[in-house]
Amino acid sequence: MYHRQLAELMGVKTCTVDRWSNQTRRVTERTLKELNRLHHLLSQNPQLREQYVKPFSKVS
Protein backbone atom coordinates (compact mmCIF):
# COMPACT_ATOMS: atom_id res chain seq x y z
CA MET A 1 0.00 0.00 0.00
CA TYR A 2 1.30 3.42 -0.88
CA HIS A 3 1.37 6.33 1.56
CA ARG A 4 -1.21 8.18 -0.54
CA GLN A 5 -3.63 5.26 -0.34
CA LEU A 6 -3.15 4.80 3.40
CA ALA A 7 -3.67 8.53 3.94
CA GLU A 8 -6.92 8.34 1.95
CA LEU A 9 -8.19 5.42 4.03
CA MET A 10 -7.12 7.07 7.30
CA GLY A 11 -8.51 10.50 6.43
CA VAL A 12 -5.15 12.23 6.87
CA LYS A 13 -2.70 13.99 4.59
CA THR A 14 -0.02 12.01 2.79
CA CYS A 15 2.68 14.02 4.57
CA THR A 16 1.34 12.70 7.89
CA VAL A 17 1.81 9.11 6.75
CA ASP A 18 5.29 10.04 5.48
CA ARG A 19 6.14 11.39 8.93
CA TRP A 20 4.91 8.20 10.61
CA SER A 21 7.05 6.18 8.22
CA ASN A 22 10.12 8.37 8.76
CA GLN A 23 9.50 8.37 12.52
CA THR A 24 9.37 12.18 12.63
CA ARG A 25 5.85 12.01 14.04
CA ARG A 26 4.60 9.62 16.71
CA VAL A 27 1.71 7.32 15.99
CA THR A 28 -0.97 7.84 18.64
CA GLU A 29 -2.94 5.08 20.32
CA ARG A 30 -6.01 6.22 18.39
CA THR A 31 -4.09 5.94 15.12
CA LEU A 32 -2.85 2.46 16.03
CA LYS A 33 -6.43 1.39 16.70
CA GLU A 34 -7.51 2.77 13.33
CA LEU A 35 -4.62 1.00 11.57
CA ASN A 36 -5.65 -2.23 13.27
CA ARG A 37 -9.25 -1.72 12.15
CA LEU A 38 -8.11 -1.12 8.56
CA HIS A 39 -5.90 -4.20 8.67
CA HIS A 40 -8.88 -6.26 9.80
CA LEU A 41 -11.15 -4.81 7.10
CA LEU A 42 -8.59 -5.41 4.36
CA SER A 43 -7.91 -8.96 5.53
CA GLN A 44 -11.65 -9.75 5.50
CA ASN A 45 -12.47 -8.08 2.17
CA PRO A 46 -10.44 -9.37 -0.82
CA GLN A 47 -11.94 -6.85 -3.25
CA LEU A 48 -11.02 -3.91 -1.06
CA ARG A 49 -7.57 -5.41 -0.45
CA GLU A 50 -6.98 -5.78 -4.21
CA GLN A 51 -7.88 -2.13 -4.68
CA TYR A 52 -5.43 -0.83 -2.07
CA VAL A 53 -2.72 -3.40 -1.40
CA LYS A 54 0.11 -4.00 -3.82
CA PRO A 55 1.00 -7.71 -4.18
CA PHE A 56 4.11 -8.72 -2.26
CA SER A 57 6.91 -10.27 -4.26
CA LYS A 58 9.81 -12.12 -2.70
CA VAL A 59 13.30 -10.87 -3.40
CA SER A 60 15.84 -13.64 -3.88
Give the Cα separation of 53 and 9 in Å (integer): 12
pTM of the shown model:
0.67
The answer to whether residue 15 scores a pLDDT higher than 60 is: yes
Q: Could you give the maximum distance between any two Cα atoms of the chain, in Å?
A: 37
Q: pLDDT (tens digit, 9 = 90+) per residue, 20-43?
A: 999 998 999 999 999 999 889 888
Asked if residue 27 lies in contact with residue 13, where contact means CB atoms within 8 angstroms, the answer is no
| Residue 17: CB atoms within 10 Å | 21
Residue 9 banded pLDDT, cuts 50, 70, 90: confident
pLDDT for the residue 20: 92
pLDDT for the residue 58: 59
